[in-house]
């Protein structure tokens, strides 16, 4: 995979519907993180994103440090929110 498509959930059902498979109803699950602390989902995701971007060299390390510091500041005010939506489309062969 060369790139991540953050909008795939919006058209995943359409892709499946054009396949030769029977498509079951689509489901979604939302995970919400309301705190900026180690072990919480949003904190871990942000740290991971910064680590990956730092490794690629696409974003300057100072910019990543500033971004993480800004998230920590928002977290101290109790205003941090991070969410992930997972979509599932189940397909099967017709009988």
What ranges do the domains of the chain cover?
8-92
Query: pLDDT (tens digit, 9 = 90+) per residue, 28-80?
Result: 899 999 999 999 999 999 999 999 999 999 999 999 999 999 999 999 999 99
Stretch 1-8: mean pLDDT: 69
What is the C-alpha to C-alpha distance for residues 11 and 39, in angstroms, rounded to an integer?
Answer: 32
Cut 0.75: pTM above it = no
Residue 3's pLDDT band (boundaries 50, 70, 90)?
low
CB-CB contact of 80 with 72 (8 Å): no
Per-residue pLDDT at 86: 85
pLDDT over 80 at 6, yes or no = no
Q: Beta strands 22-23 and 91-92: pairing type?
A: antiparallel
* Helix orientation angle between 61-76 and 41-56, rounded to the nearest 10 degrees: 170
């Amino acid at each position: 995979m060369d790139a991540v498509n953050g909008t795939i959930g919006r058209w995943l059902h359409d892709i499946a519907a054009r396949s030769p498979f029977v498509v079951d109803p689509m489901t979604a699950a939302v995970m919400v993180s309301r705190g900026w602390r180690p072990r919480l989902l949003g904190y871990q995701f942000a740290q991971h994103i910064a680590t990956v971007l730092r490794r690629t060299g696409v974003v300057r390390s100072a910019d990543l440090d500033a971004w993480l510091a800004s998230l920590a500041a928002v977290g101290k005010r109790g205003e941090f929110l991070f969410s992930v939506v997972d979509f599932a489309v189940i397909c099967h062969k017709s009988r």
